[in-house]
């Protein structure tokens, strides 16, 4: 009778198999922990536990799927962002750790720039899975938070996440800032728009290129198309005192900051690098 393999044997196999296929070896820990309903600490404290046959089968199948390019998050159904679980699928961009830095930077600047958060209105444009809007609302509950997206499927995912995390968000369907042009003025606009240049399409990992929605990735030939479009409507939707925060691609800081300075000459514009030293955020404080 064939014995059941143990946790450490399954992890060793997955690590080797994923490395051979150019994937992160640690993905095996995430997948096995998912199927066993264990966090990493508990998983590693049960290395000699025998795997039930059905778990082993699911784990092998999932590991092989990831090796072929299926994102781990599409197998488990979620990604962790700012310490919270967010449901994700093929209709939304998988949350990246860098966006946590945009949220953290925005929270600090909101408090410093406005002092009092009560009565302020924030809009997360191109919300995707809703990570920015939901996280900001939970961290700064006195804000009135809107989340918009041109994709109705993405909005459905964002609404599901907000409901699961008990975040009171107002969702609107529309293209960039169009839903807000004839409405109330906004104090804060945050966005992680598509910023990958079309010329970089061929160099993207298959995990990203074939599984994240294309409309959430590419920002025109130079990656700046959406920032230019923002400049056309930002002046008409912002209050006199306002804050704008964008996530950007590496090397785009100077060009995006120039767009903001040209649009708001009296503002303070700052390019911020992420934890890896790459240009990742641009903030504009409008006085």
Ligand-binding annotation for 22, yes or no, is: no
Ligand-binding annotation for 149, yes or no, is: yes
| Residue 2 exposed, middle or buried by CB count within 10 Å (0-12, 13-18, 19+) | exposed
Ligand-binding annotation for 126, yes or no, is: yes
Residue 4: DSSP 8-state: P
Distance (Å, whole) CA 166 – CA 78: 17
Distance (Å, whole) CA 266 – CA 263: 9
Q: Rounded to whole angstroms, what are the CA distances from 242 to 50, 58, 84, 114, 188?
A: 57, 50, 28, 8, 6
Ligand-binding annotation for 130, yes or no, is: yes
Q: Are 160 and 87 in contact (CB under 8 A)?
A: yes
Ligand-binding annotation for 265, yes or no, is: no
Q: Which two tokens stand for residue 201?
A: 């399409």
Ligand-binding annotation for 195, yes or no, is: yes
Ligand-binding annotation for 197, yes or no, is: no
Ligand-binding annotation for 215, yes or no, is: no
Residue 246: which of 166, 177, 143, 174 has the closest Cα? Answer: 177
Ligand-binding annotation for 117, yes or no, is: no
Ligand-binding annotation for 193, yes or no, is: yes
Which residue ranges are tagged as binding site for substrate?
A: 192-195
Instruction: Extract the annotated binding site for S-adenosyl-L-methionine.
Output: 126-130, 149, 192
Indicate the annotated binding residues.
126-130, 149, 192-195
């Amino acid at each position: 009778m064939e014995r059941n393999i143990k946790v450490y044997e399954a992890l060793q196999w997955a690590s080797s198999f994923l490395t051979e296929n150019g994937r992160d070896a640690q993905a095996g820990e995430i997948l096995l922990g998912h199927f066993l309903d264990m966090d990493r600490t508990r998983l590693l404290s049960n290395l000699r536990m025998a795997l039930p046959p059905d778990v082993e089968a699911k784990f092998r199948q999932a590991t092989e799927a990831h090796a072929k390019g299926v994102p781990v998050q599409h197998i488990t159904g979620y990604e962790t962002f700012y310490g919270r679980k967010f449901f994700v699928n093929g209709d939304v961009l998988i949350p990246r750790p860098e966006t946590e830095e945009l949220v953290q930077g925005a929270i600090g600047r909101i408090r410093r720039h406005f002092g009092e958060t009560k009565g302020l209105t924030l809009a997360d444009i191109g919300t995707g899975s809703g990570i920015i809007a939901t996280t900001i609302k939970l961290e700064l509950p006195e804000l009135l938070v809107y989340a918009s997206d041109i994709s109705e499927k993405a909005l459905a995912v964002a609404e599901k996440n907000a409901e699961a995390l008990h975040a009171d968000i107002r969702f609107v369907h529309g293209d960039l800032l169009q839903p807000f042009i004839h409405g109330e003025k906004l104090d804060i606009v945050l966005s992680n728009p598509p910023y990958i240049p079309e010329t970089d399409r061929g160099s993207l990992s298959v995990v990203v290129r074939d599984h994240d929605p294309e409309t959430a990735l590419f920002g025109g030939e130079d990656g700046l198309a959406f920032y230019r479009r923002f400049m056309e409507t930002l002046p008409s939707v912002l209050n006199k005192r306002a804050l704008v925060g964008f996530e950007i691609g590496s090397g785009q800081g100077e060009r995006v900051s120039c767009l903001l300075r040209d649009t708001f000459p009296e503002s303070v514009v700052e390019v911020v690098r992420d934890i890896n030293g790459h240009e990742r955020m641009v903030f504009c404080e409008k006085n």
